[in-house]
Amino acid sequence: MKKRKVVPLLVLACAIASVGLLSGCGANLNREITVQSMIIEVPSDWLETVGPDNDEESGAFFFTEENDDLDDDETPNTIAIDYRALDDNGEDGEGPLSASEVIAAKRADMEREFGVTAWDIDKEKSKVIDGAQVTTYEYSFVKEIEGVRRAYEYATAYVFTIDTVYEISVTGGKVDINRLVDTIEF
């Protein structure tokens, strides 16, 4: 008799767990914002910070989950959106202008400036959204701080339109970069 009662309970438990996984965990992307010509959704309950030098040529927006329980060595969940205008030739005067060139330059800078090692691109995905080329990278590296080696994981999307390049970075586990990219419109 017990076996018959346990099986339906296991089936119910598995069904509930599946619904939870399929509905997605993490922050709700429920606030539509516009950054230059890009529309993207971010969590409405995260703190927004606008870069002090934002203008038509370049700027940055940051969205950070407020969490008073973080220790000093913990990184908060954050979305950072940077943009740079491109000239009529599709250049910005700052260097590389393809996603692969930008991520390679980022790696070189982090190795040189911060001593990161064991850099690895874990996932790379490209697609086109409303004519814009979008490439996402999920990458990891190791950095030593005060004698302690620690692994870090990040996700970044590069969005290239005819007149602007956007860099969208996600830290923490509350927002999946691909789910964020799926909200982009132009």
In SS3 terms, 108-163 reads as: HHHHHHHCCEEEEEEEEEEEEECCEEEEEEEEEEEEEECCEEEEEEEEEEEEECCC
The pLDDT of residue 10 is above 50: no
Lowest mean pLDDT among 16-20, 112-116, 155-159, 171-175: 16-20
Please, what is the average pLDDT of the chain? 82
End-to-end Cα spacing for the chain? 60
Domains of the chain with CATH codes: 26-181 (3.40.1000.10)
- Asked if 171 and 160 touch (Cβ cutoff 8 Å), the reply is no
In order, the DSSP letters of 45-85 are TSEEEE-TT--SSEEEEEEE---TT--TTPPPPEEEEEEEE
- pLDDT band for position 94 (cuts 50, 70, 90): low
* Average pLDDT, integer, range 147-163: 89
Token representation of residue 180: 């964020």
Sign of the CA dihedral with 48 first, then 98, 171, and 123 last: positive
Provide the pLDDT for residue 89: 62
Place of tokens 């964020």: 180
Residue 107 burial by CB count (10 A; 0-12/13-18/19+): exposed, middle or buried?
A: middle
- Asked if 99 and 135 touch (Cβ cutoff 8 Å), the reply is yes
Q: What is the pLDDT of residues 14-31, one digit of tens each?
A: 444 433 434 446 899 999
Kindly calculate the radius of gyration of the chain based on its CA atoms and give it in whole angstroms: 20
Lowest mean pLDDT among 15-24, 25-34, 85-94, 167-176: 15-24
* Beta-bridge partner residues of 149: 144
Could you give the CA distance from residue 180 to residue 156 in angstroms, rounded to a whole number?
11
